[in-house]
Amino acid sequence: MLEGLIGKKIGMTQGFDDQGNAVPLTVIQAGPCTVIQIKSKDKDGYRALQVGFVEGRAVKTQSKAQLGHYKKSGSPLTPVLREFRLDDPGEVKEGDQFFVDMFKVGEKVHVMGTSKGKGFAGVVKRHHFRGGGETHGSMFHRAPGSIGASSYPSRVVRGLRMGGHMGHERVTTRNLVVFQADKDHNLLVLRGAVPGPNGGYVLIHKAKKS
């Protein structure tokens, strides 16, 4: 059975809990998602459900390979295609659709997305370095300092924290609580923030009970 959905981040708002406290909320367009392909251990080497996000807009680029892949499930081309690993698909078959009502209010979920890209950033912004003195001609304000030794090992060690590309990484936010699930409008409202910009695609998984 499918344990998650593909969603599209709409934006953030706020609501009120049972005690009247204002809480931050993220609104996600979650599903509907159509099963495009069922992958098996014998044929593909692993078990998974390949799922397409039905967004309601047509896909402009349609190759023959894409059309043939979607033809068996009877689904139109979708802008996003993702896989969900699972041990047993159960009675799920190609063409089945899943909706946001699979999530219940109060349930915990994990959300995976791509964080916002920040471009090149120095060590102060990227790694929260303190920096040097700001006065008396230190000439060492936002520099990283020493990055290695001269005699040994005479090189920069792998993984040293330095300036570079910041953001645009796969990020998982765990144990977000479902605040509301609206099947009529395919909306999922979660307490807290999820990675990525507005309009970015995310994967929503049910949190496994420990």
* pLDDT value at residue 80: 87
Highest mean pLDDT: which of 51-55, 131-135, 157-161?
A: 157-161
Q: Does residue 9 sit within a domain?
A: yes
Q: 3-state SS string over 35-101?
A: EEEEECHHHHCCCEEEEEECCCCCCCCCCHHHHHHHHCCCCCCCCEEEEEECCCCCCCCCCCEECHH
Q: Does residue 73 sit within a domain?
A: yes
Q: Does residue 14 sit within a domain?
A: yes
CATH of the domain at 183: 2.40.30.10
* pLDDT value at residue 209: 67
Q: Is the pLDDT of residue 113 over 60?
A: yes
Amino acid at 92: V
Provide the number of structural domains found in the chain: 1
Residues 175 and 69: their CA atoms lie apart, in Å, by 35
Q: How confident is the model at residue 59 (pLDDT cuts 50, 70, 90)?
A: confident
Q: Which domain holds residue 20?
A: 4-118+165-206
Q: Could you tell me which of 19, 31, 17 has the C-alpha nearest to residue 181?
A: 31
Q: Is the pLDDT of residue 40 over 80?
A: yes
Amino acid at 189: V
CA distances from 106 to 1, 11, 30, 178, 183 (A): 21, 20, 17, 5, 16
Q: Is the pLDDT of residue 210 over 60?
A: no
Question: Residue range 113-133: average pLDDT?
Answer: 94
Q: Is the pLDDT of residue 85 over 60?
A: yes
The percentage of residues in the chain with a pLDDT greater than 90, rounded to a whole number, is 51
Q: Is the pLDDT of residue 56 over 60?
A: yes
Q: How confident is the model at residue 69 (pLDDT cuts 50, 70, 90)?
A: confident
Its pTM stands at: 0.83
Q: Is the pLDDT of residue 93 over 60?
A: yes
* pLDDT value at residue 134: 87
Question: Residue range 116-143: average pLDDT?
Answer: 91
The percentage of residues in the chain with a pLDDT greater than 70, rounded to a whole number, is 98
Residues 9 and 75: their CA atoms lie apart, in Å, by 23
Q: Does residue 75 sit within a domain?
A: yes
**Residue 115 near residue 168 (C-beta atoms within 8 A):** yes
Q: Does residue 155 sit within a domain?
A: no
Q: Does residue 146 sit within a domain?
A: no
Q: Please name the residue that has the structure tokens 């920069």.
A: 156
Question: Residue range 36-47: average pLDDT?
Answer: 88
Q: Does residue 27 sit within a domain?
A: yes
